[in-house]
């Protein structure tokens, strides 16, 4: 793993990103672990390296408002917030725009996208140099605190990531405020340095989700995408009326297959696309072949179990 910095470092990190690799980079809040937002493969690598037992949707980092406007549908209130607080530590959850090419895995299959413009010249330069928005969670392993220095990231990941872009210590050290505009009333999902009062001065009254939710698993609070098809998991073969979603080389040639070679990263990358595809094809019942409960397989199975219970 290389630790790079300066103008040359930004170029090196951007090269990694353009080859679908993931890199750690500084923002004003904490270090992020980024991949190109439109690359299912890069996003699957992020989840693999984070070691999360489930898919928590990621924040999409943009360097300009036009890109943000292309990826999400702003409402007048959220537009005002973006104008005032961007670049800065405010993440806004909005409806995903119809033309958005952001990886479905990045938003865990949701119809919303969390988006922010970081207030860090290095992060903004990296996004521009890479040529597109960056999907990134905080650069820590699951269940550990967010890193605010390059050395924290290297202690955390060692050689499992190819590159850390060192921008020195983060100025804020606290993750961004997350506000959700996808429901009836704007709701703060995660408090941060931009406070409820700061936001209410601009848009009037909002709610704070004080939830009885475990902080260790913020992804649990998010409503998950479930296909209308009924899913039967750990199926070896399909029954009458079912379509088979395969995994690995044993699956019949004519079935949908999450990964013909049995590669978990590929399966994660295709998972949400495949679930949506079932709906697009109006499939009523689907049999899903077993996915090994190791590495990314744990998160894939978690997601499939939820999707199978939701109907």
CA 255, distance to chain mean position in Å, is 28
Nearest to 263 by CA among 275, 247, 279, 280: 247
136 binds ligand TXA (CB under 6 A): yes
**Which of Mg ion, ligand TXA, none has residue 58 at its interface (CB below 5 to 8 Å by kind)?**
ligand TXA
Using the contact rule CB under 6 A, the part of the chain among 108-116, 196-204, 250-258, 265-273 near ligand TXA is 108-116
Contact between 190 and 180 (Cβ < 8 Å): no
Distance from C-alpha of 137 to C-alpha of 263, rounded to nearest angstrom: 23
- Smallest distance, ligand TXA to C-beta of residue 175, A: 4
Q: Which residue has the tokens 């693999």?
A: 48
Nearest to 38 by CA among 273, 297, 306, 307: 273
Site string for Mg ion, 115-154 (x = CB under 5 A): -----------------------x----------------
- Smallest distance, Mg ion to C-beta of residue 146, A: 5
List the Cα angle 213/218/222 in 5-degree steps. 90
114 binds ligand TXA (CB under 6 A): yes
Distance from C-alpha of 272 to C-alpha of 41, rounded to nearest angstrom: 13
Q: Report residue 244 as tokens.
A: 């088979």
Helix axes 76-85, 196-203, angle to 10 degrees: 130
- Smallest distance, ligand TXA to C-beta of residue 232, A: 28
Which residues, other chains included, contact 172 with Cβ-Cβ below 8 Å and sequence gap of 6+? 28, 29, 30, 89, 193
- Smallest distance, ligand TXA to C-beta of residue 292, A: 25
Q: Please pick, from the candidates 12, 29, 100, 274, the single residue that binds ligand TXA as defined by CB under 6 A.
A: 29
Site string for ligand TXA, 162-201 (x = CB under 6 A): -------------xx-x-x--------xx-----------
Using the contact rule CB under 6 A, the part of the chain among 63-71, 112-120, 250-258, 281-289 near ligand TXA is 112-120
- Smallest distance, Mg ion to C-beta of residue 76, A: 30
**Which of ligand TXA, Mg ion, none has residue 107 at its interface (CB below 5 to 8 Å by kind)?**
ligand TXA
**Which of ligand TXA, Mg ion, none has residue 91 at its interface (CB below 5 to 8 Å by kind)?**
ligand TXA
Q: Give the sign of the dihedral formed by CA 86, CA 91, CA 93, CA 97.
A: positive
Subset of residues 46 to 75 that bind ligand TXA, contact rule: CB under 6 A? 56-59
218 binds ligand TXA (CB under 6 A): yes
**Which of ligand TXA, Mg ion, none has residue 30 at its interface (CB below 5 to 8 Å by kind)?**
ligand TXA
Nearest to 284 by CA among 260, 264, 311: 311
Neighbouring C-beta atoms of residue 290, cutoff 10 Å: 13
Distance from C-alpha of 186 to C-alpha of 199, rounded to nearest angstrom: 10
222 binds ligand TXA (CB under 6 A): yes
Give contact residues for ligand TXA (rule: CB under 6 A): 27, 29-30, 32, 56-59, 89, 91, 93, 107, 110, 112-114, 136-138, 175-176, 178, 180, 189-190, 218-219, 222
């Amino acid at each position: 793993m290389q630790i790079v910095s300066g103008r040359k470092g930004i170029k090196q990190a951007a090269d990694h990103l353009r080859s679908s690799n993931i890199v750690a980079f500084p923002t004003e809040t904490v270090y992020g672990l980024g991949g190109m937002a439109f690359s299912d493969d890069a996003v699957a690598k992020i989840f693999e390296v984070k070691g999360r037992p489930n898919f928590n949707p990621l924040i999409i980092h943009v360097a300009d408002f036009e890109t943000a406007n292309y990826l999400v549908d702003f409402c007048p209130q959220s537009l005002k917030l973006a104008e005032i607080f961007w670049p800065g530590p405010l993440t806004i959850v909005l409806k995903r725009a119809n033309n958005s090419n952001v990886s479905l895995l990045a938003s865990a299959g949701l119809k919303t996208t969390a988006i922010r413009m970081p207030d860090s010249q290095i992060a903004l330069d990296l996004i521009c140099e890479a040529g597109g928005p960056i999907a990134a969670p905080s650069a820590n392993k699951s269940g550990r605190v967010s890193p605010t220095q390059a050395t924290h990231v290297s202690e955390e990941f060692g050689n499992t990531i190819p590159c850390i872009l060192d921008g020195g210590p983060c100025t804020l050290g606290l993750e961004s405020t997350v506000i959700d505009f996808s429901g009836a009333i704007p709701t703060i999902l995660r408090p941060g340095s931009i406070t409820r009062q700061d936001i209410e001065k601009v848009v009037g009254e909002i709610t704070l989700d004080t939830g009885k939710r475990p902080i260790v698993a913020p992804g649990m609070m998010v409503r998950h995408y479930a296909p209308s098809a009924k899913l039967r998991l750990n199926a070896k073969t399909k029954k009458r009326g079912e379509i088979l979603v395969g995994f690995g080389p044993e699956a019949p040639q004519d079935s949908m297959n999450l990964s013909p070679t049995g590669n978990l990263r590929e399966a994660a990358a295709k998972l949400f696309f495949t679930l949506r595809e079932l709906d697009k094809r109006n499939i009523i019942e689907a049999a899903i072949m077993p996915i090994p409960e190791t590495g990314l397989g744990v998160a894939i199975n978690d997601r499939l179990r939820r999707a199978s219970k939701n109907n």
